[in-house]
Structure 1
Amino acid sequence: MAFSPDSSTPDETSTSRFCDHRHVVMAPFAGGTANKWNIESPLIDFIPGLSSCHIADFPRKLIESYNASDEFVRFILKAFSCVKKADWILVNSFYELESRVYDAMQMLGYPIYGIGPLMKMESESNSLGSECLDWLSQQKPASVIYVAFGSLAKLKTKDMESLALGLQASGLPFLWVIPLESISAMNNSGFASPNGFRDWIASLGLGFITSWAPQREVLGHSAVGAFVSHCGWNSVMESLCEAVPIVACPQGADQIGNARTIAEHLKVGVEIKREDDGSFTKESVQRAIKEIMKNEEARKRIAHLKQVIRDSTTWGSSYFNITKFIDYLFQLHCPCHS
């Protein structure tokens, strides 16, 4: 979020200017491989503060069909032009996670401050989702694979089938959050004929499916051993807060870069191997789950990050930054405040 106390043009009626901010957007790669998932793209190793990455790690819409008149591209460009004018850039992250990026951007004149993760550090009991929590309580510690793709990401039916078969092949218990429309699509596909997808899952004796779950409470449950996620940023933050390693299965937008960060830089997860068309197989799902469940180093790393988050949000960098911003707001509207 970018904030500036004054409008810079006479026709702006708002006294504050805000725009969402998460990632640096690169120019597109016109490589002629718009429909390929595993794009062979140039290595980017010259951006201050940013670890080496590939253009293919950035949002697909920008690298596949860049058009300056495209509504999405125009939105991104406008957002970043606002960022340049901001007095404060507040990010749902924390300094210790991306210190090189914060340092580099501040050296370039961007007033960027991490104030995250923006969520409660302790889980609270909730009557909603009690069935899945009761089911979790019947499982062994760190044995359950939690599967959820957020409220917007939707898997194709083919990928749903591969994921279901991969979970089955893992032999591990799993809790899978599936939207009702996706369950209907699976029923209509004939994959689980004749009794339907819910009954097929039940027949495995391994899984529990639900259309909604209290994610923070689920991730904080002792039975959960890994999180199969689309790697939306909120889900990533929640997983770090609860020290649950991630099996990354990004669908688009910033999720691809987030997944690379999780698997290659932070090393607190693995990514499901994809085919060129973006699909994945039963075998790739099974392999990724097996790898993360035996990866003790990833568990140590993410447990350390959980403690870093606690320190940052209590008396550390995020606490200091949000306190500083609140004090700035008081000074802005009440100069006598100190």
Structure 2
Amino acid sequence: MARTVVKLGSSVVAENDGTLRAEVIARICTALADRHAAGDDVVLVTSGAIARGMRIMDLPVRPTAIEDLQAASAVGQGKLYRVYDELLRERDVTTAQVLLTFFDMSARLHYLNARQTLRKLLEWRVLPVINENDTTTTDEISFGDNDFLAAQVAVLVGADELVLCTDIEGLFTANPRIDPDASLVREVADVADLEALSIGHETSALGSGGMRSKVVAAEMATAAGIPTTICSGILPGALEAVLSGEGAGTRFAARPARYSSFKLWLKYAKPTRGTVVIDDGAARALRDGAASLLPVGVVAVQGSFDAGDAVEIVTRAGEPVGKGISTFSRDELAAVAGEKTATVRERLGGAADEAVHRDYLVLG
């Protein structure tokens, strides 16, 4: 039994004017129902609520003001879900609507609660239909047209595969819409190999993502050991080929899982609130061994953060070392930066010895 997360971009769900691609959605629902009937677990992450709201309200272009985006999503969200629910119910699949926000992913307790809910739904053989809750989010592109959300969900549910469906065949060496020499990249062994490619931020008239956000999503999922495919959701047979194992589009190979689910959450979902600058000795200790960051290795503190917030850790030259959960607030850490442990204990009675404990640190 396989567990697959399938994500549909706005350009797959709707035309540029917001009209739903009814035939495309119906075909995709059939493909998902077939996998469900075969015993697989399937999770659907969908964009398109704003596009649906735009069409219903007869808006000529995608809004830019956050309140307009939220209102369009409020109009379209339930109606979009109803389409999936009815199509899948006709195919003997029970669904559940799940709305998530960036806060649900960045707050650890919310993250764990979301995981428990999704896993219970799958245990009940229910197909979750997930979207970002645009009506309450404060940043309409926080998930990059839901690419990042889909990767997070794949990690949450322990997926065997992530499939990102868009309106082109996959990842190309250049933008195929403007470069006739662009060719499809079939396999990616390491995301770092793509640095030489011109991977753009271009989006559809309705979406907020782009190919770059899909590559970042693939990087996150493959770091968790989850192979990822970017394929066309519009081209008949493409998604079906991926789900059946025949292959289509661009496949990103899974990497050996380097991080626990907690450290994946820390690396990709927990927002940073400040920066901690460390000396060269501390940088070597963190990179070369299982060391914690001690206050004595701290050179400077930037930004404003509380104990428990995530901070970026960099060298004096600004080179990134990693990301971790700070044991101290910004003011506390600034007060003991460069001090030995004994002095830290004197100044901050009862404080931990580590500025960032190795268990709450991920190298980057």
| TM-score bracket for the superposition, by shorter chain length | 0.3 to 0.5
Higher relative contact order (CA 8 A, sep 6+): 1
Structure richer in strand, relative to its length: 2
TM-score normalised over the length of structure 1: 0.36
Question: TM-score normalised to the size of structure 2?
Answer: 0.34
